[in-house]
Structure 1
Amino acid sequence: MDSSPTALFDSYEQDFQQILQSIREKLDGEAKDERGEKKKAALRRVEMELDEADEMVSQMEIEIQGIPQSIKSQYQSRIKLAKADLTRYKKVSKDMHSQVSRVDLLGSSRGAASPTSDEPYGSGDRTRLLTGTSILEDGSRRLQESQRIALETEEQGTDILRSLRGQREQIENARDTLRTADTSIGRASGTLKKMIRRMYQQRVVTAGIIVVLVLLIAIILWEKLH
């Protein structure tokens, strides 16, 4: 398993390109050539794959946080290109949805006077269906926006956790340094105490020697005088 800091990013980018290729084929094929329900089904599959591609881009944005600064800029450029491609295909999909809606509206206006066996719904039913479809599409867009916000929040939370982890490591390093310094100070204090004790001992010994010498000198002088 590749453990390089860019391995996951490259994997997500590869998945993104595969999804994008599938979207491109559907938009240039089924969604473009088919009519009616087949065209709508193709566009629904495109919408699902656009959501997947959006998820891949979000994962790439998360993974880029762990890439070294020396190569980070080129990966940021790759994300920008991916976002631009995704935005372009979202616009194409939206335009095709609008075309389908216009065709449905034109069809309903032509058949609004009297329902037929081919068009069993009246204008009121079709209007309600179109309204329901519009509400569903709006809800889907809001869901996608909520998902995007959730991913951005997750990314920000990851950055905060990474920052907190770095600060905790700094605090732990500072604490270890203080402990080492405290230990060194304790050792130095003990050494100084030993040195002071030895100094006092040497003074006592020196004073004793001087006293003994003075006594010896006094005894010698006393003997010589007497």
Structure 2
Amino acid sequence: MTTMDSSPTALFDSYEHDFQQIIASIREKLEGDANNEGGEQRKAALRRVEMELDEADEMVSQMEIEIQGIPQSLKTQYTSRIKAAKADLQRYKKASKDLHATLARSDLLSSSSRPGMGPSTADEPYGSTSDRTRLLAGTALLEDGSRRLMDSQRIALETEEQGADILRSLRVQREQIQNSRDTLQRADNSIDRASGTLKKMIRRMYQQRVVTAAIIIVLVLLIGIILWAKLTR
């Protein structure tokens, strides 16, 4: 049975490790399937890239949350690591966007260069009816890519807002815990002072008992001496 790492940076390191794995998968797809495969396979690869970019964005948000609990002496180092992760994420988001645009352009070019398409005329400036259909399809593809990018940006903003809400909640809870700890410390100090006062009172009581006992003994001795003196006359 493995023991769970309870260090303050354990969760951050775990999220960063997951982020690096996702980025490696994105890089492999962008440099491999999304570049080399056919049209439909490239589209499928780019859709997987978009989903993994959303996951990577979520990992960065989790890292931003976890850094709040990291000791100040280590925070600078981990802040730099978050900045590097954000830079990687933005670079691959741009690469994905560029590949979307390239794929859309290649679809348009391939549709316009297929055999059997007649020259355009004054009545049909874009060529045959099928050419216009392909052009509309290419435009729809570009719009779909733009919509996907906007959805990704919206999800990123929503995730960022949720992360900010969580951070505010954690900050309030931390302040409550600190206030409770201060209250306990004050109560502990009061108990220590009361305990010291009681010890002093007990010590004085014993001292008074000793003095009283000594006085009684002296008085008894004096009475005994007086009685002895009277009896011996």
Whether these two folds match at TM > 0.5 is yes
Q: Summarize deviations over 1:19-46 as a string: whole Å, max 9, x none.
A: 221122244324xxx6xxx36x734641
Equivalent pair of 1:50/1:86 in contact (CA under 8 Å) = no
Q: Summarize deviations over 1:23-79 as a string: whole Å, max 9, x none.
A: 22244324xxx6xxx36x734641441342242143044236357537525633541
1:155-170 equivalences under 5 Å are 155-170=163-178
Question: What letter is aligned with 2:30?
Answer: I
Please report the TM-score for the alignment, with normalisation by the length of structure 2: 0.64
Whole-Å separation in 2 of the counterparts to 1:98 and 1:145:
20
1:19 corresponds in structure 2 to: 26
Alignment of 1:69 onto 2:75: yes
2:116 corresponds in structure 1 to: none
**Number of residues of Structure 1 aligned to a counterpart in Structure 2:** 215
Equivalent pair of 2:34/2:46 in contact (CA under 8 Å) = yes
2:209 corresponds in structure 1 to: 201
1:95 corresponds in structure 2 to: 101
Whole-Å separation in 2 of the counterparts to 1:202 and 1:51:
86
Whole-Å separation in 1 of the counterparts to 2:102 and 2:179:
57
2:123 corresponds in structure 1 to: 113
Q: CA RMSD in A?
A: 4.4
Segment drifting more, 177-186 vs 50-59:
177-186
Any unmatched runs of 5+ in structure 1?
A: none
Change (3 A) 1:52 1:130: same
Question: What letter is aligned with 1:56?
Answer: A
**Pick from 146, 158, 181: which aligns with 1:150?**
158
Change (3 A) 1:94 1:28: closer
Q: Summarize deviations over 1:117-158 as a string: whole Å, max 9, x none.
A: x735978xx76x777666655543332122101221233234
Question: What letter is aligned with 1:52?
Answer: E
Alignment of 1:46 onto 2:10: no
Segment drifting more, 193-202 vs 134-143:
134-143
Any unmatched runs of 5+ in structure 2?
A: 114-118
Segment drifting more, 196-205 vs 67-76:
67-76
**Pick from 220, 223, 226: which aligns with 1:215?**
223
Change (3 A) 1:9 1:111: farther
Q: Summarize deviations over 1:159-204 as a string: whole Å, max 9, x none.
A: 3344345445434543443454344334333322322322332232
The 3-state SS of whatever aligns with 1:113 is coil
Alignment of 1:187 onto 2:195: yes
1:104 Cα deviation (Å)? 9.8
1:222 Cα deviation (Å)? 4.8
Please report the TM-score for the alignment, with normalisation by the length of structure 1: 0.66
Change (3 A) 1:134 1:77: closer
Equivalent pair of 2:26/2:49 in contact (CA under 8 Å) = yes
Question: What letter is aligned with 1:215?
Answer: I
2:35 corresponds in structure 1 to: 28
1:82 corresponds in structure 2 to: 88
Equivalent pair of 2:26/2:53 in contact (CA under 8 Å) = yes
Equivalent pair of 2:104/2:141 in contact (CA under 8 Å) = no
The 3-state SS of whatever aligns with 2:129 is coil
